[in-house]
Amino acid sequence: MLEEKNDNLQEADGKLEIESANSTENNETVSVEINESESETIVSESENTIAPSNEELSDKETVAETQNQTALDAITNSNAEESEDETLKERHDLPMHDYNTFSLDELVAELKKLVSSDKVMSVKEHIEEIKKSFLLQYNHLIEEKREEFNAENQDPNEEFQYHSPLKTKFDEYYNIFRDHRNAHFKSLQTNLKSNLENRLAIVEELKELINPQENIKDTLKHFNELRERWKNAGSIPKDKYNHVWNNYHFHVENFYDYLHLDREARDLDFKHNLEQKQKIVARVEELVNEADVSKAFRELQDLHKIWKEDIGPVSKEHRDEIWNKFSELTKKIHDKREVLFENIRGSELENLEVKKNIISQIEALATEKVNTHSLWLQQIEKVEALRSAFFAAGKVPSDVNEATWSAFKTAVRNFNTFKNSFYKDIKKDQNDNLNKKMALVAKAKELQESTDYEATTPIMKKIQEEWKQIGHVPRKYSDKIWKDFKDACNSYFDKLKEHKNEENGDEVAAFDNKKAYLETIREFQLTGDHKTDLDAIKLHIETWKGFGKVPFPRRHIEGKFNKILDALFEKLSLSKKETEMIRFSNRIDNLSESNDTRKLDNEKIFLMRKIEEVQNEIFQLENNIQFFTNTKNAKKENSIVLEVRKNIALHKESLDVWKEKLHQLRNLDSNN
């Protein structure tokens, strides 16, 4: 058919007539002889139909024809592509997602789902888009990992390596698709070649039909058989599509011209063809109002194929009219499709502006000076949020896609370089911390086998506190060095625990001795001589200490002993300070023997706070005295002033006791 310049649909309706047919249309018989070279020449001319000149058509008509031709060309190209591989048709049923918004995990999952389809070419474009998005994100991830490696690694001989299970899965699924695609192409090429040969053979048989010596009924039967064979001949290469179809329809037209010998048969066929084409035009009129423009265009594409491939010519009087109406409706749908594409392009331009703004924000963050790790974590969080927003922003025009992606990568890379410069500066501190912790590890390992538990335990506790005060070390060493330190400490304290379990027997004996000694001290009576009684009490205290420690759950016995001492001290004519200091000394000795450094430290903190509290109280009381002595009636306030001074004296006496206790506790630390 030769109606279009490319599809030649008009000529398929018989618009292009050969002179021999026109000049002899009313004759009863006609002999049409066209050799192969002439046939090819005419076909070639039909494929390159020359547009009317400006002298033959007005400018308006020329523009209209050009616009119609653009719409028809779009249909032709789509049909030629799908004619070559019919599996391409089903690609329209698969929604094309914006794969740039997918994460790496989601892309691999989507690829796995599409690879399972047996319609290789239907999913080809989707898989290629997935591949493009995956590689863009994965390469970006590799660059980040490489920069992190370079920032942390100080050994120039160590090579960067990064392996991702996701990349392994992606390669596995993509290789499956590639194998399926290659097998499909191989099979397709074989079939295309065979189908092309069959169609060319049908064309050759069509040439032989124009034979006035044969019975017209037999000729028609043969013609219909050829048309049926043509419908079922299968796909051919798309670059041969127009040429082969034009050649076929040229000879079909010749045959219809030959049919003027049997006007009734030809007119019936013309009438049937006209009815079919009118139905197509009616359907296209409905499609013009279809809301889903893409769906309307796909159906229009199918209708063009039916018009061209399945329906023959109509009578000359209807040819131009019905074809022009069909092409004008085609242009309307094509124009709506172009508007849709323009809207999509507009959306892509909006996405481009969003992405440019995101890139600008990242570039700005790459210049903000930040001097602490916590603030850098906030900056990194901001960039990650912008990075997610970039991928979620949607597609941009294809002609700027690579440039936009490159600008984004550069902005992120500059930020990472800026960030790494900060961490390189603190790298030295981390290495210093590493050396300090390695020294503590060495010390812990040296002491872990010690059996001098009384001397070693405070040291082990001290190095544990020192470890806590040391800052971060390089991440690549942190796990190992912590494990070494923890293992050495656990080894020592496990042995200490076993040792204490062994000593439980001595502690039980000490408890029994102290329990029996309580009865002795309860029967103790003071003689009345201050020095003798005080020496006797001190001897009881030393004897009590000599029994040793008791099991922890039975330490209540110490409280019973202290109550007896308190009762004896009350009977002695000792000063309050002296009594208080004896009691304190006894309690501190017990804490010291139990190696309870935490309680000793807490006691020291308590004493320092009490001293500060009493000093503040004295200061406040002295200020009050100053207030009373400055009043006009100071003499009347003497009783109040005296009371305050008395209170100050009591506080100063208490202050001396607290200071003496602190002094005694500090002497205990220095002796240890």
| Residues found in the chain | 672
Token readout for 341 is 């594409």
CA distance 224 to 367: 78
In tens, the pLDDT along 345-380 reads 888 888 888 999 999 999 898 888 887 878 888 888
Q: Which residues pair with 2 in a beta bridge?
A: 9
Phi-psi sector, 434: left (phi>0), alpha (psi -120 to 50), beta? alpha
The SS3 of residue 373 is helix
In tens, the pLDDT along 420-469 reads 777 777 777 788 888 888 998 899 888 888 888 888 889 889 989 989 88
Sequence-separated (6 or more) residues with CB below 8 Å from residue 423:
151, 376
For residue 291, name the pLDDT band (cuts at 50, 70, 90).
confident
Give the whole-number percent of the chain exceeding pLDDT 90: 2
In tens, the pLDDT along 510-558 reads 888 888 888 888 888 877 777 787 788 878 888 887 787 777 677 788 8
Token readout for 188 is 């397709």
Residue the block writes with tokens 């006691």: 603
Indicate if the pLDDT at residue 631 is higher than 80.
no
Q: Are 549 and 510 in contact (CB under 8 A)?
A: yes
Indicate if the pLDDT at residue 175 is higher than 50.
yes
Sequence-separated (6 or more) residues with CB below 8 Å from residue 562:
583, 586, 587
Q: Is the dihedral of CA 162, 164, 169, 170 positive or negative?
A: negative
The SS3 of residue 2 is strand
Residue the block writes with tokens 């806590």: 468
In tens, the pLDDT along 245-284 reads 878 878 877 777 776 656 776 778 888 888 988 998 899 8
pLDDT at 304: 85
Phi-psi sector, 235: left (phi>0), alpha (psi -120 to 50), beta? beta
DSSP classification of residue 662 = H
